[in-house]
């Protein structure tokens, strides 16, 4: 089902989107084992999908945290987003930062906006990561439900290199982690400690998803971020912290609440890694950086 501003799109529209997403790739899996699209370059028609969604005119929100020295990545993220992120759509970049004065002035296309929100500084990068679910929950509850139909959560230390568009929209959209999309599930870095609310035992799991890019319809995203926030708070009360903070809780949620669309690692690669043959297009890439220098606790 596909919703815009709380309304289900007509059946003919859904059928058209489905036909636009038919696979023309034989070198990769293009559907999950629960029968939803696994999106790669060559598996969708961008003209058809954009035409359908632009007619519906959805409001797209993207939430990023730029705390401490991470404000240096804002300019590149925003400028490249204006070139490639939902071009021609209504977009608002929600920037949560402790340094509002360091948010750059960016020339935005019509219908696109920046909203700057204050957040406190952090002493540990792990606290910054975990706070994403908190701020997303609070933001949706307070005002975002009036301003957006779809929400994407993204890491600020990345650059758009190619199209990121309507082919990514669904109730819940996850992105395969570049480091684990070719490995077996017992190699996934799930939280393996049973005391954590993010615990996933060996022998379970579908994929390992990155927490650096994911999104979906606002109502479904609210359920997800609130779940992850509450479960991480339970961990705090119990004196534990999941191995990969919000990413661990995200993977736990997706295990039992399957994504309605999965995106290939094209949608988040890394400048640290060479690009294999199955990645025909790098759409977003995380930047090389000195973690010890940019993270508040020296990357530890």
pLDDT tens across the length of the chain (300 residues):
455 555 555 433 444 444 445 557 899 999 999 999 999 999 999 999 999 999 999 999 999 999 888 899 999 999 999 999 999 999 999 999 989 999 999 999 999 999 999 887 666 555 555 577 887 888 899 889 899 999 999 999 999 999 999 999 999 999 999 999 999 999 999 999 999 999 999 999 999 999 999 999 999 999 999 999 999 899 989 999 888 988 999 999 999 999 999 999 999 999 999 999 999 999 999 987 545 555 555 444
Structure tokens at 295: 């993270």
d(CA 192, CA 51): 44
d(CA 248, CA 241): 10
How open is the CA angle 252-254-255, to the nearest 5 degrees? 65
Domain ranges of the chain: 3-294
Q: In what helix (H) or strand (E) does residue 124 lie, and over which residues does it extend?
A: none
Structure tokens at 275: 């690009």
pLDDT reported for residue 4: 58
Phi, psi of 73 (to 5 degrees): -90, -5
pLDDT reported for residue 129: 56
pLDDT reported for residue 130: 59
Active site (annotated) includes residue 247: yes
Would you identify the CATH topology of the domain 3-294? Spore Coat Polysaccharide Biosynthesis Protein SpsA; Chain A (3.90.550)
pLDDT reported for residue 143: 87
CB atoms inside a 10 Å sphere around CB 45 = 16
d(CA 114, CA 76): 14
pLDDT reported for residue 13: 44
Residues 6 or more apart in contact with residue 106 via CB below 8 angstroms: 75, 78, 79, 82, 114
CA atoms within 13 A on the CB side of 145: 11
Q: Are strands 158-160 and 172-175 parallel, antiparallel or unpaired?
A: unpaired
Closest CA to 139 of 158, 124, 168, 119: 119
d(CA 244, CA 254): 15
pLDDT reported for residue 211: 94
Structure tokens at 70: 């991470």
CB atoms inside a 10 Å sphere around CB 24 = 11
Whether the CB-CB separation of 156 and 67 falls below 8 Å is answered with no
Q: Are strands 90-97 and 112-118 parallel, antiparallel or unpaired?
A: parallel
Catalytic residue among 230, 247, 266, 293: 247
């Amino acid at each position: 089902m596909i919703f815009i501003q709380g309304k289900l799109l007509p059946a003919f529209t859904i059928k058209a989107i489905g036909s636009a997403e038919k696979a023309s790739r034989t070198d990769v899996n293009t559907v999950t084992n629960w029968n939803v699209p696994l999106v790669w370059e060559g598996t969708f028609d961008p003209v058809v999908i954009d035409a359908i969604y632009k007619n519906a005119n959805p409001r797209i929100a993207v939430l990023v945290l730029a705390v401490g020295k991470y404000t240096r990545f804002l300019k590149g993220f925003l400028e490249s987003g204006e070139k490639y992120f939902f071009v021609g759509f209504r977009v608002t970049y929600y920037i949560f930062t402790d340094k509002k004065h360091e948010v750059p002035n960016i020339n935005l296309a019509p219908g696109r906006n920046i909203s700057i929100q204050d957040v406190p500084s952090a002493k540990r990068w792990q606290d910054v990561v975990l706070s994403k679910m908190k701020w997303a929950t609070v933001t949706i509850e307070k005002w975002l439900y009036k301003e957006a139909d779809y929400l994407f959560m993204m890491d600020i230390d990345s650059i758009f290199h190619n199209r990121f568009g309507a082919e990514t929209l669904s109730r819940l959209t996850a992105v395969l982690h570049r480091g684990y999309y070719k490995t077996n599930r017992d190699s996934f870095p799930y939280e393996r400690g049973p005391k954590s609310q993010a615990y996933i035992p060996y022998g379970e799991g579908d994929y390992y998803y990155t927490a650096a890019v994911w999104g979906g319809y606002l109502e479904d995203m609210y359920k997800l971020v609130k779940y992850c926030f509450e479960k991480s708070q339970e961990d705090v009360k119990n004196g534990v912290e999941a191995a990969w903070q919000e990413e661990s809780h995200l993977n736990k949620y997706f295990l039992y609440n399957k994504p309605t669309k999965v995106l290939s690692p094209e949608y988040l690669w890394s400048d640290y890694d060479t690009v294999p043959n199955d990645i025909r297009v790098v759409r977003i890439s995380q930047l090389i950086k000195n973690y010890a220098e940019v993270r508040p606790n020296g990357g530890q």
